[in-house]
Amino acid sequence: MNDATPPAAPRLTSFSHGGGCGCKISPGVLSDILRNASGFPAPAQLLVGIESADDAAVWQLDDERALVATTDFFMPIVDDPFDFGRIAAVNALSDVYAMGARPIMALALVAMPIERLPLESIRAILAGGESVCAAAGIPVAGGHTIDSVEPIYGLVALGLGHPGRIKRNDGARPGDRLVLGKPLGVGIMSAALRKEQLPPEGYAAMIATTTRLNTPGMALSELEDVHALTDVTGFGLLGHLLEMCRGARVAARLSMAAVPRMAGVEALIARGFVTGASARNWAAYGDAVRLSDDGAQRALLTDPQTSGGLLVACAPEALEAVLEAFRRDGFAEACEIGEMVSGEPGVEVQA
């Protein structure tokens, strides 16, 4: 009789060179790659395509319906397979909500090291994603699988919205107030987790925010005075805010004191838990940012957010309605963080 204990399953994060939205190609490199993208004439039905840095493509079906299509996938940001599946699915569906649409179905994208990762772990990843889709009220209607060196999971997500209420990221106006729906710090937390230095309460907070569906996007689509909407992911708050500024040809003022952050994140930054993606982000767009602090503030504002919060630009008179839309869905930390102003596209960070 063999009493030997079976070997423990390897840590999911040990397979990947980067986790979550920190895997994204840096904004500077991505810009170079897409610089000579095909200029194929867009059909009139294509309401949103590659001409902007928006969250999803939008195709008008008729006067009342527009199809929203997006995809997102990445390598593990956590070691628990079920949590990894949940985070990846929430992150993918976020792009539908960020356009102001309602998800209708998803397809799974699955790439796994079959010979090295236990099948139970792979099943748990898929189950995590399915649980999120069930919570969103949609089926996982199919997908595609391959054998891969690194574990990769995500979704193709489809949604429906009204053509006149689709929210792009390039409609902000001077005077608009900025609202952020989730606190920052996911990349910093994940960096500590990889080094096994994230306390249990930190992990619980990280899972709570990354597995919360950005459902307020549907209610925000109903508000005419919401002028621009996006979600904050791999390029950090500054990167996605700059996309808003450049699309609308306006500038932004950000109040550092108002920016929500996860409890304990400053202490982790002080201990050196900053991702490589943060430095790549700053190298790509730092010349468009006025920021007196080059340490903790920069680390937080460039931190890649996996399954991050919605970023809203709205008229001042709509601010309370926007905050109420977040509160109704349990986003108690959503708050005003700044404003849009006239000027060359860029961000000024104030104390």
| Run means of pLDDT, 10 residues per run, the chain, 351 residues | 54 70 59 62 89 90 98 94 97 97 98 94 97 98 95 97 97 98 97 94 97 98 98 96 97 97 96 93 95 90 96 98 98 97 97 88
Distance CA 283, CA 7 (A): 42
**Catalytic residue set:** 21
Distance CA 123, CA 112 (A): 11
pLDDT at 21: 52
Distance CA 263, CA 260 (A): 9
pLDDT at 76: 94
pLDDT at 53: 82
pLDDT at 2: 46
Token pair 């201990």 is found at 271
pLDDT at 17: 63
Residue length of the chain: 351
> Tens digits of per-residue pLDDT, 126-169?
999 999 999 999 999 999 999 999 999 999 999 999 999 999 99
Using CB atoms within 10 A of its CB, is residue 16 exposed (0-12), middle (13-18) or buried (19+)? buried
> Tens digits of per-residue pLDDT, 10-58?
788 877 666 555 555 556 666 665 666 655 678 999 999 988 788 899 9
